[in-house]
Amino acid sequence: MQAAKVSDTPVEFVVEYLLKAKEIAENNANVPAELRDNLQKALDIACGLDDYLEQMSSQESEPLAELYRKSISHDWNKVHDNGKTLFRLPVTCITGQVEGQVLKMLVHMSKARRVLEIGMFTGYGALSMAEALPENGQLIACELEPYLKDFAQPIFDKSPHGKKITVRTGPAMDTLKELAAMGEQFDMVFIDADKHNYINYYKFLLDHNLLRIDGVICVDNTLFKGRVYLKDSADDFGKALQDFNQFVTNDPRVEQVIVPLRDGLTIIRRVPYTPQANTQLKSTVTYDEVFRGVQGKQVLDRLRLDGKVAYVTGAGQGIGRAFAHALGEAGAKVAIIDMDKGKAENVAHELTLKGISSLAVFADISKPEDVQKMIDDIVSKWGTIHIACNNAGINKNSASEDTSLEEWDQTFNINLRGTFMCCQAAGRVMLKQGYGKIINTASMASLIVPHPQKQLSYNTSKAGVVKLTQTLGTEWIDRGVRVNCISPGIVDTPLIHSESLEPLVQRWLSDIPAGRLAQVTDLQAAVVYLASDASDYMTGHNLVIEGGQSLW
């Protein structure tokens, strides 16, 4: 049976008191009509808020909907055979649909991969957060009562996200101590448990580094029916939460905001240490760039490309497409350059769907007029170029004695001459502004002679790309432009899986210590690193990514 509806949140109490005031006004002929009208207007606003918030929230998944229906219809009196009540959960403890969507949104926004929940109750909040975690994400839920694990687990098992949830039953503090002993750390923590222990959970989380720097703690019920700020309130829970809120406010390790959602949701962020925030440790801390980060940025933040303008040639497919996605995901605006305008537009559309600013540009990089127009179009659109990713190339196979001048010239015109023209045209823009990152795609073939295929013109052209990179990298670094290259090994493409090439693939695999071909995604982190400020001291370098093949 469903528990009777009682006032739980400050807004619900306002509604309750307004209804009483309205009843008094209606029974008193001396109350002015204007006062009655204003009471009704206040009621309309207060009564409609929660329903409106629920209507405007994103639609919940079917497992969540099922769990919510099960929660509000369940008889929360667990009764032993002898009639003794073992467990009673008030309906006000059930996480609402709006709160669940807020938690889900916070997981998305914080990009959390590991979440800790203290106080699972019905499991609605846990499943909401799990839906926002990546496939390899994990949520550990601490729940005192095994009965609640049994209640939620069948719904977790139905959801594709339920596998991310591990429920640990028993006292939450015991679980926290076990997690701390194992050196565990979390991106986000949600606390909705026994109110008197909120402050103890909070202290333990921060004192034992269970929350990473920039991690988020969300705490439910921190307005507690308005009793945390009502001067005449003597409620024990209200007093405990009042003390908790004040403690967090005074804690220099964090910053917080209380959101008046339902019964109050506090969002707390752990901030990086500064000497001003904790003078007691100042004498023991070497507060340099190693500690605080270069320009205050932690190492992963230094890989961000926010506000940068990039282009990638040969970006309509394969490695170039993967590079374009990677640079865009890191924050850059990306121009997609390709000889096939349709393919360029398709990739640009892909980036747009991911919220990345993009531009499709047709260019044949073997033609100097196309290269200059490509640069002019990008500068006209976005004002500058910070990152030039010269990736376009071709490969033709023939025995050396049969290699024609036409094949040689065609290969060099794109692989080396075209790369040079792109470096030069982009370099002029970068040298003028005193900053730039040029990343050329070379090949493992610049280091070894791949076999058994015969590809003289390709191998020689890619060796030229490496020497071009080394020369420009040393010549331009003192003017703020770094030039590096990436040498991939054999990359897995649909063409490689054709029946005619199967024997060749098996031969290649026998030459690769890693035991597999490269995926284009294996190269993405490298291009982001070379494009970022984190690689400022690297220039003229050939970054080889080939699964160890060049070492055998």
Q: What is the pLDDT of residues 328-359, one digit of tens each?
A: 999 999 999 999 999 999 999 999 999 999 99
Is residue 391 in a domain? yes
Which pLDDT value is given to residue 503? 81
How many domains is the chain partitioned into structurally?
3
pTM of the model: 0.83
Provide the CATH number for the domain around residue 117. 3.40.50.150
Q: What is the mean pLDDT of the chain?
A: 89
Same domain, 397 and 538: yes
Q: Is 44 exposed, middle or buried (0-12, 13-18, 19+ CB in 10 A)?
A: exposed
- At 237-288, the pLDDT tens digits run 888 999 999 999 999 999 999 998 888 899 999 988 877 655 555 568 888 8
Same domain, 123 and 234: yes
Comparing CA positions, the residue from 226, 223, 225, 228 lying closest to residue 239 is: 228
Same-domain check for residues 478 and 362: yes
Q: Say yes or no: 95 and 51 in one domain.
A: no
Q: Give CA–CA dist 4/339, Å, rounded.
A: 69
pLDDT tens sequence across 144-197? 999 999 999 999 999 999 999 999 999 999 999 999 999 999 999 999 999 999
Model confidence at 427: pLDDT above 70: yes
pLDDT of 7: 60
Is residue 368 included in any domain, yes or no? yes
Q: Which residues are catalytic?
A: 458
Q: Is 98 among the domain residues? A: yes
pLDDT in tens, 61-75: 888 888 888 887 777
Q: Which of 308, 320, 377 is nearest to 344 (CA)?
A: 320
Q: Could you tell me if residue 86 is inside a domain?
A: yes
**314 and 199 within one domain:** no
> Residue 500: which CATH number?
3.40.50.720
- Together in a domain, 52 and 79: no
In a domain, 106, yes or no: yes
Q: Which residue, of 254, 270, 286, is where some domain finishes?
A: 270
Q: Is there a domain that residue 374 lies in?
A: yes
User: Which secondary-structure segment (H or E) carries 483?
Assistant: strand 481-488
Same domain as 34, residue 66: no
Residues 426 and 464 in one domain: yes
- Look up the domain containing 36 and give its range: 10-56
240 and 308 in a common domain: no
Instruction: Enter the tokens of residue 166.
Output: 């591990």
Q: Is 107 helix (H, G, I), strand (E, B) or coil?
A: helix
Is pLDDT above 80 for 233?
A: no
Residues 27 and 77 in one domain: no
**Highest mean predicted confidence (pLDDT) among 15-29, 84-98, 419-433:** 419-433
Task: Tell whether 159 and 17 lie within a shared domain.
Answer: no
CB-based contact 309:435 (threshold 8 Å) = no
| Cα dist from 493 to 207, 319, 391, 490, 517, whole Å | 50, 10, 16, 9, 9
Q: What is the pLDDT of residue 6?
A: 55
| 130 and 243 assigned to the same domain | yes
**534 belongs to a structural domain:** yes
The answer to whether residue 348 sits within a structural domain is yes
